[in-house]
Structures are given as structure tokens and as C-alpha cells.
Chain A
């Protein structure tokens, strides 16, 4: 009896919430990216639909924000400064959780969608990245380092901010294209989609993309890590035999 009442209560709650907020049905063109020979990067299409909980067209003026984030790593950022006439690494700071990849796509500029607090909570935008700096640094210095990091990663195509890059058609279908450069890290990437209305995130959905090395590339990377000795020996043998063969071939000419 009690269980039945609980279910009824939950159902009622769900329906109440559902009556107001839409649901997102996200999909990604590829859930696995294989890094093989000739890999020059990948183009991901993140798309989906905005529906009412009953599965009908939500038909409201929702905005969509898509975030694709790569594995988080601990990094050290160093800053060069001119000391005695030459540029050397002077200051450094450590960030415990810098994403190896971050791409944002939205249907309108973030600033016009949500306020700063909401943007910070959902990490909507590069200036809201939660990098977790280590140690006590003055805020100005910390800002300089995180801006330096973001600028560097941006120019390498590893951090992207594409406002107006999400296309919404018929108030129901959305799509965004995100390009991954060839230098992406392997690992699990999370794709988060947010529906925003009146400055409020009304729905979110999560999906995952795995980037992994396959075939020859995987064998090479695994062996370099695990069998350093044989890997090195192999490299030495290859270089000697190539030098020797070239010497032999040219002796014939």
C-alpha cells in the first residue's frame, strides 16, 4: 500500500515538473572517435530535440547551450619573463583540473542568455572554467595565468567558444558542429546540453564520446608506455637497418 502511494506521489511530482520544463533528447554523430593513421581531427555533430515530457513539440523559445569537455588533467603553466636580457621561464602555477578540451556552442551569446552566476555554475564560457589552482596566489596573478592558458589553448583549437553556433529549427530540433583538432587527448569526453529560458537552465542532458587510439597507433602508444626497453630496441634496430639498407642500395647505383 505504502509503496503504491509513494509511486503515485512521485508520478504526480514528475508530471507537475514536467508540465513546465521540457526534456532534451540529445544525440551525437559519433560516440567513439578512433585515432588511427592519417587522423587529422574529427567533426562532431551534436544534435537533438526539445520536447515536452509527453514527447510532443515543446514549442517555446528555448535557447540551447552545448558544452563538450575533454578529460581533466593536472597541469603546470609557466610564464616567460625577460631576465638579464633573455626570456626565461620565471613564474609558474599549478592547476589541478584543467580540461584538455573545452568547446562551447550556443544559440545566442551567453551574456544575453544567463547572468554571471548561472554561467559560472554551469561553466558556460571560458572565463568560468573551474581550473582549481593550487597554493595561495594573488587573484591578479591567478587571472593572468588562467587567461594565458585559455589564450594558448584557444589558438591550438583545444578551447573553443562559438556563440551563435547552435542552430534551432522549428523550435524543436537543434544542432551544433564542434571540430576536434588532431592533437586531442584520448579519453572520455562529456557532452552536456542545456536548454535555457528566461535566464534559467530548464533542462539538461548528458552524453559521452570516447576518443581512443586504435590499431597501429594504439600498439605504438601502449608499447612506448609499457615496454620501454623493447620499444627502444626496436627503434634502434629500425634506424640501423634503414641506414644500412640505404648504404647498400646507393653502393649499387
Chain B
């Protein structure tokens, strides 16, 4: 099925894009991450210009996180106060990200920076998750319950001035910490076309020390708003949001997300996390190799 993408200016096989969206949607439903970290590189691999890929992948993440966010909201799994601070940071971050995007584009280093960011982020987070889930599985097999992790925020967070009470998260910390976290994920969202869930969730758990019950919901809440801001930012600056591409991705991802959520209810969380870790590490390794191998194209053309 040939579909012409009016902004990317090329014709693609619509079915492939829907399946791609479905795959990332499946991941997002199963693991609570946006799946953008897979969509953007795969779209680029398929021949979609990098800017269009990043700009359109953001709206796919919006769609995939909507139903998840609603579900968590019904269960009371969102700390709106924390979410609002994160979103505020995220919006600032997308603004900064847009400036950075333009600067790097002018220098011609945007692709390299995006690739290195992917390798560092995915490698780091994937390694952490693999380590943790393997530990949990080993502990389970030996019959000894793992010592419960002390829920605490990072000492650095405690040193920040100004403290707010976040009731639902069970925290009494400076709002600057989640604000900065929000800024950071906002920048990443703009640069990499990802939701940032796979960075946000561990950071909320281990740096902020939020209660596990509200982590995923609040992360989805933040992703929802930040990806919306990203789509707007791209529509206003790079003008690279391809609505046809976005709708194709959405068809796949919103369906995939629902199917993934059903799977997730039946599987063990440790197994799920291990699978996600393997996927994340795989993408990181592939990208790291890509940096070192001689690329297919030595020359690139940028229209001014």
C-alpha cells in the first residue's frame, strides 16, 4: 500500500509504517515507555529524513501515552502536583532543545549528537535495568527475598533550596529537582523524538525517591504533555511534522499499546524488565557500532 508523505516528500509502504507503530506501541503498553527510542531510528533507517522522523514520532508517543495516562488517572496513580512541575520543566526543556537543535543543525553535528545521546542513554539505562532485573530473578530463584530497597531521594536532591510537600509521592523535597529532571527530558524529547519515559521512570524512583505506585502514571502524564509541546514546537520551528506519517504510526501504536497492556498484566514484572533491558541494550549496541563502522553514506545533502 503506497502512501505519499506530503512533508517528508516521499512515498512509503503504509503497512510497514503501521507495523512499526504497532511494534513500538506494543513496547509502550508492556513496559510503560513511549517507544520513541525505536521509532525514530527505524524511520530514519527506512529513508525518512531525520528531522521529519523526530518531529512525527513525538505525536505517536502522545497517542500511545493517552490511554495509559487515563487508566492511571482512574486508579489515582498520578501525582498532579509533581506532574505539573515536571511538565513545566519539560516545556522549558523543549524550548531549550529547539534552540540546541537549530545550533547543532547549523554546525552539521545533529546526527552525531543524536547517535551519541542514544548510545549513552540507552546503554546506561539498559545496563541498569538488566542488572536489577537479573538480581531480582536470582534472588527469587534462590528463595531469599531481596532486601527491600530503601526509598530515599538522592543526597544531592536534599541539598537544593526551597522544599515542597508532594503528598501522593510521599516526598518533602525541593521542586527544583523534578523541574530540572523535566527540563532534561524535555531537551531529550526535542532532540531525539522520544518521550523520555525510560529515563524518567528510573530517575523518579532512584533520584527523587517517589513512591512506586505513582511513578508510571506521573511519568505518562509528563510524557503526554511534553510530547504535545514538542509537536507544537516542531510545527512552529522545523515545520517537519508529517501528519500522514503521524497518523500511520498512531494507527499501529494505539492498537499495539492496548495489546501490550493486556500482555503486561499476565507477565511477571521482572521478566518484562529484563526483556526491555535486552531490547534497549540491543539498540544501544547497534547504534554504538554504527558510530564506528564506515557509514553507507559519506556525503549528506542539506537543502538551504
**Is A127 interfacial (CB 8 A cutoff)?**
no
With A38-B2, A235-B241 as known contacts, state yes or no: A86 contacts B67, CB within 8 Å.
no
Complex CA–CA separation, A240 to B223 (angstroms) = 12
- Give the residue among A185, A220, A243 with the most B Cβ atoms within 10 A: A243
Complex CA–CA separation, A41 to B3 (angstroms) = 12
**Is B275 interfacial (CB 8 A cutoff)?**
no
Task: Please name all residues of chain B whose beta carbon is closer than 8 Å to the beta carbon of A25 when the two chains form the complex.
Answer: none
B299 touches A246 (CB 8 A): no
> DSSP majority for the B interface?
helix
A159 CB → nearest B CB, Å: 11
Complex CA–CA separation, A94 to B106 (angstroms) = 13
Task: Please name all residues of chain B whose beta carbon is closer than 8 Å to the beta carbon of A85 when the two chains form the complex.
Answer: 291-292
B299 touches A145 (CB 8 A): yes
B302 touches A36 (CB 8 A): no
A78 touches B228 (CB 8 A): no
Complex CA–CA separation, A232 to B235 (angstroms) = 5
**Is A120 interfacial (CB 8 A cutoff)?**
no
Pick from A75, A82, A247: contact of B301, CB under 8 Å: A75
In chain B, positions 74-115 with a C-beta closer than 8 Å to chain A are 108-109, 111-112
**Is B278 interfacial (CB 8 A cutoff)?**
no
Chain B proximity mask over A228-240: 1 for CB below 8 Å, otherwise 0: 1101111110111
**Is B304 interfacial (CB 8 A cutoff)?**
yes
B66 touches A236 (CB 8 A): no
Complex CA–CA separation, A79 to B251 (angstroms) = 37
Task: Please name all residues of chain B whose beta carbon is closer than 8 Å to the beta carbon of A245 when the two chains form the complex.
Answer: 254
Q: Which residue of B lies closest to A231 (CB)?
A: B235
B65 touches A243 (CB 8 A): yes
Which B residues are closer than 8 A to A by beta carbons? 2-4, 6-7, 9-11, 59-60, 62-67, 70-71, 108-109, 111-112, 116, 228, 231-237, 239, 241, 243-244, 246-247, 250-251, 254-255, 257-258, 291-295, 297-304
**Can you list 29 contacts pairing A with B, beta carbon distance less than 8 Å?**
A40-B4, A73-B304, A76-B301, A78-B299, A80-B300, A86-B291, A86-B292, A89-B111, A89-B300, A148-B299, A152-B299, A220-B6, A220-B7, A221-B7, A224-B7, A228-B236, A228-B239, A232-B231, A232-B234, A234-B243, A235-B241, A236-B232, A239-B63, A240-B228, A242-B247, A244-B70, A246-B67, A247-B67, A250-B258
